Amino acid sequence: MKNLIYLLPFLLLMVSACSKEEEALPNLGVFIDTSVVITILDEQGNNRLDPNHERYLDPEDIKIFYEINGRLEEFYEDHLDMPRNFRINQPGFGRDYNLALFLSEKTVIQWNENESDSIEAEIYRSDDLNRIQLIKVYFNGDLKWDNASLTASEFTIIK
């Protein structure tokens, strides 16, 4: 009888907690991933972001342009940690120098006054914009990365 007294409130609690209606999962935050990591090599396999390279790509000369409303606009926000929306990662953890860059659907990298390349990205945006994610990345029209590969969004170019 004593067990029944404890069992009855427990059963009432369990029955009252059940619902036939499915509740939507709460919004647990925002996921934004539009970055790529690019390693830039010359024809001999030397890294062009290495300051000791004779054809070094100086980060001071690199400019990033995004297509906005059909026009290319240079990105520069001096109050940000990455004012040009890229950074040069130093060698470490088995990696060489590389460029980490945030993309839009159309991004142009101007390496210097004479060289530039274009990157086109397919980007998924959820209806509530809580999820923005790269799907595919094309460098000068060539597919360089696809999220179906289940690998980090990085690739190497020869320049």
Residue 18 has a pLDDT of 56
Interval 66-84 mean pLDDT: 97
Run of H or E residues at 130: none
Lowest mean pLDDT: which of 24-28, 67-71, 88-92, 125-129? 24-28
Residue 116 has a pLDDT of 97
Run of H or E residues at 153: none
Does pLDDT of 14 surpass 70?
no
Q: Per-residue pLDDT tens for 52-72?
A: 999 999 999 999 999 999 999
Percent of residues, the chain, with pLDDT higher than 90: 72
Cβ(99)–Cβ(50) below 8 Å = no
Question: Looking at the domain 29-158, which fold is it?
Answer: Immunoglobulin-like (2.60.40)
Q: Per-residue pLDDT tens for 106-115?
A: 999 999 999 9
Which sequence spans correspond to the domains of the chain?
Answer: 29-158
pTM equals: 0.79
Burial class (CB in 10 A: 0-12, 13-18, 19+), 140: exposed
